[in-house]
């Protein structure tokens, strides 16, 4: 999994981990902050939330076009500083009046633009690491590792948000509304870490930063014939059209799935289930998964022994944690957002092992086929939610009932996140890898930006879930996303020959 990868991959992945930790810490509580601080209705809060997500993922198109001209590394650096300014403004507790709303809008604009300069261009640099023939067959696994690193940051984000808010309220005496700003301030600190990692490890990826060429320097990659460029762009646009609906469905995790966690999920947890809400238990499981793979994949007996010891120690630690369970623990809605990144990090080696085995037999699905399968699995994830929601009151009815309403086990959401993560692993890292491989050489930044524009459009459509949240039966809400995912998968399979032709 990790063998034979370019060193620059790990440097860029770590730099991205720091930035994503701050972003997801902010995002874990943002929708709830909008409703609590400004008194917004679910639909209005959802519209702001989805517009911000759209901005974050639309502006990489602008950032990519700028990087194609001025260099990827330069845009990444500028992006970090612009994001820092945005998070700094968002961390100021200004209350809930019109002025505070204007400042919040400005901060979101800065975060969106900074992310546009940073996110896509960093991923283009990762793709360019695999331009050398010796790394060519490592591209998909490299992007899976990169994607896993993103989710390491996201894994700790919900816990960081919840705990720093508790600290602000209990130790510092701030109100609930003001405590949200402490969670936003975490992003400022994480960006300082990100830029430090970037410059300390720059020597490993400086050759892919791009920029103005010196006199006499030749372009490494020549452009392709116009007909081939057109075929590649058309194929990419077809994929972009499909991923719009994936992200529309998937990013309900920060909106309607968080609303569901807040309004319909049991507020306490006991027994083994309560262990799942401790991020360090999840980290222990991740370490055990990697140790288990090392036991079977390591060539040296000493490495197998060390991995076995780590595996045993992890199991012992979890058992010790189990013996210490006493009573129940409180469960807050944002904490559920830790399960998706947990599953991504834990399941990435499983995914790579499966596709590695298929590749050896010559049966590994192409990237477009993986994306189509991912859409089907996403539909299954929302089918789990639809089944679990049968018989529950509508959100409007639950609001009237209050504490007399119906609350269901947290396992429904935990299971849904598991299924959606399988879909994500098939679609997101494979899609990014596909773009980096297929994009015409002179349009890499813009085409990666196109991937994010598709993501942006999907994120804008996330608001549909917020507007459905109210007087409609919950199983109907989830069925909307089931249908969209299945139709998208069907479209992919219809276009499969054209897509696989350019792979």
What single string gives the DSSP state of each residue in 333-397? GGGGGGHHHHHHHHHHHHHHHHHHHHHHTT-PPPHHHHHHHHHHHHHHHHHHHHHHHTTPPPHHH
More confident residue, 78 or 158: 78
Model confidence at 207: pLDDT above 60: yes
Given a cut of 90, is residue 384 above it in pLDDT? yes
In percent, the amount of the chain with pLDDT more than 70 equals: 97
Q: For residue 149, what pLDDT is reported?
A: 83
Give pLDDT, residue 414: 95
Tally of CB atoms within 10 A around 105 = 14
Long-range contacts: 128-135, Cβ < 8 Å, 24+? 128/72, 128/208, 128/436, 128/444, 129/6, 129/8, 129/9, 129/12, 129/205, 129/208, 130/6, 130/436, 131/208, 131/220, 131/221, 132/6, 134/4, 135/4, 135/5, 135/6
For position 148, what pLDDT does the model report? 84
At residue 110, the pLDDT reads: 94
Question: Dmax of the chain from CA atoms?
Answer: 76
The predicted pLDDT at position 383 comes to 97
**pLDDT confidence of 89, banded at 50, 70, 90?**
very high
3-state DSSP assignment of residue 265: strand
Q: State the pLDDT at residue 220.
A: 46
- Interatomic CA distance for residues 74 and 81, integer angstroms: 11
pLDDT of residue 5: 85
The CB density around residue 17, as the number of other CB atoms within 10 Å, is 23
Coil vs helix vs strand at 4? coil
Using DSSP's 3-state secondary structure scheme, residue 410 falls into coil
Place of tokens 């199991």: 315
C-alpha 498/C-alpha 503 separation (Å) is 10
Quick one: average pLDDT of 284-288?
94
| Total length of the chain | 503
pLDDT of amino acid 138: 79
Helix (H, G, I), strand (E, B) or coil at 215: coil
User: If 0-12 CB within 10 Å is exposed, 13-18 middle and 19+ buried, where does residue 85 land?
Assistant: middle
C-alpha atoms less than 13 angstroms from C-alpha of 210 in its C-beta half-sphere = 29
pLDDT score, position 486: 95
Mention every residue, 6+ apart, whose C-beta is less than 8 A from residue 239.
Answer: 368, 371, 431, 434, 435, 454, 499
Specify which of 7-16, 207-216, 352-361, 437-446 reaches the highest per-range mean pLDDT: 7-16
* 268-296 average pLDDT score: 92
What's the pTM? 0.78
* Confidence (pLDDT) at 214: 43
> Which of the two residues, 140 and 83, has the higher pLDDT score?
83
Per-state percent for the chain, helix, strand, coil, to nearest 5: 80, 0, 20
Buried b (16+ CB within 10 A) or exposed e, 298-335: eeeeeebeebeebbeebeeeeeeeeeeeeeeeebbbbb
Nearest to 451 by CA among 280, 306, 246, 257: 246
What is the C-alpha to C-alpha distance for residues 486 and 294, in angstroms, rounded to an integer?
Answer: 37
Average pLDDT over residues 61-75: 85
Sign, Cα dihedral of 140, 141, 143, 147? positive
Q: How far is CA 20 from CA 16, 118, 159, 173, 194, in A?
A: 6, 11, 14, 29, 9
Mean pLDDT of 123-133: 84
Question: What local confidence, expressed as pLDDT, does residue 211 receive?
Answer: 62
Per-residue confidence band for 2, with pLDDT thresholds at 50, 70 and 90 = low
Query: What phi and psi values does residue 7 have, to the nearest 5 degrees?
Result: -60, -35
| Helix segments in 171-270, DSSP class H | 176-200, 226-250, 256-263
- As a whole number, mean pLDDT of residues 315-343 equals 90
Instruction: Please check the confidence at residue 217 and state whether its pLDDT lies above 50.
Output: no
Any bridge partners for residue 268, and if so which?
A: 330
């Amino acid at each position: 999994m990790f063998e034979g990868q370019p060193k620059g991959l790990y440097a860029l992945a770590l730099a991205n981990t720091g930035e994503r930790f701050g972003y997801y810490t902010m995002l874990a509580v943002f929708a709830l902050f909008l409703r609590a601080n400004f008194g917004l209705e679910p639909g209005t809060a959802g519209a702001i939330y989805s517009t911000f997500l759209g901005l974050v993922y639309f502006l990489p198109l602008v950032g990519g076009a700028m990087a194609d001209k001025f260099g990827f590394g330069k845009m990444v650096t500028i992006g970090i500083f612009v994001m820092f300014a945005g998070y700094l403004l968002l961390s100021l507790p200004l209350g809930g009046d019109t002025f505070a709303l204007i400042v919040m809008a400005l901060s979101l604009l800065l975060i969106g633009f900074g992310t546009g300069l940073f996110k896509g261009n960093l991923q283009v640099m990762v793709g360019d690491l695999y331009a050398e023939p010796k790394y060519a067959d490592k591209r998909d696994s490299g992007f899976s590792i990169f994607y896993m690193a993103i989710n390491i940051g996201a894994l700790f984000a919900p816990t960081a948000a919840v705990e720093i808010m508790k600290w602000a309220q209990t130790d510092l005496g701030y109100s609930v509304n003001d405590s949200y700003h402490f969670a936003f301030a975490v992003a400022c600190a994480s960006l300082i870490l990100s830029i430090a990692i970037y410059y300390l490890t720059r020597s490993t990826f400086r050759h892919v930063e791009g920029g103005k060429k010196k006199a006499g320097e030749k372009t490494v990659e020549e452009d392709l014939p116009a007909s081939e460029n057109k075929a590649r762009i058309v194929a990419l646009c077809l994929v972009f059209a499909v991923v719009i609906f994936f992200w529309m469905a998937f990013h309900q995790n920060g909106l309607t799935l968080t609303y569901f966690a807040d309004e319909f999920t049991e507020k306490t947890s006991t027994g083994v289930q309560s262990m799942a809400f401790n991020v360090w238990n999840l980290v222990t499981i991740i370490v055990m998964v990697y140790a288990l793979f090392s036991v079977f994949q390591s060539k040296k007996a000493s490495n197998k022994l060390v991995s076995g010891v780590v595996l045993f120690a992890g199991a012992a630690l979890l058992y010790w944690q189990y013996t210490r369970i006493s009573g129940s623990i409180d469960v807050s809605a944002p904490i559920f957002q830790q399960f998706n990144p947990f599953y991504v990090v834990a399941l990435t080696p499983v995914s790579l092992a499966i596709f590695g085995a298929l590749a050896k037999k010559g049966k590994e699905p192409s990237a477009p086929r993986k994306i189509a399968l991912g859409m089907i699995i996403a539909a299954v994830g929302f089918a789990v939610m639809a089944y679990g929601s049968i018989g529950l009151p509508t959100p409007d009815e639950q609001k009237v009932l209050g504490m007399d309403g119906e609350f269901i086990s947290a396992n429904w959401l935990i299971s849904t996140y598991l299924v959606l993560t399988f879909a994500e692993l098939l679609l997101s890292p494979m899609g990014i890898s596909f773009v980096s491989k297929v994009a015409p050489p002179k349009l890499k930044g813009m085409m990666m930006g196109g991937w994010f524009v598709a993501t942006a459009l999907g994120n804008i459509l996330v608001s549909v879930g917020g507007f459905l949240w109210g007087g409609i039966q919950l199983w109907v809400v989830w069925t909307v996303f089931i249908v969209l995912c299945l139709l998208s998968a069907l479209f992919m399979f219809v276009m499969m020959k054209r897509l696989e032709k350019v792979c």
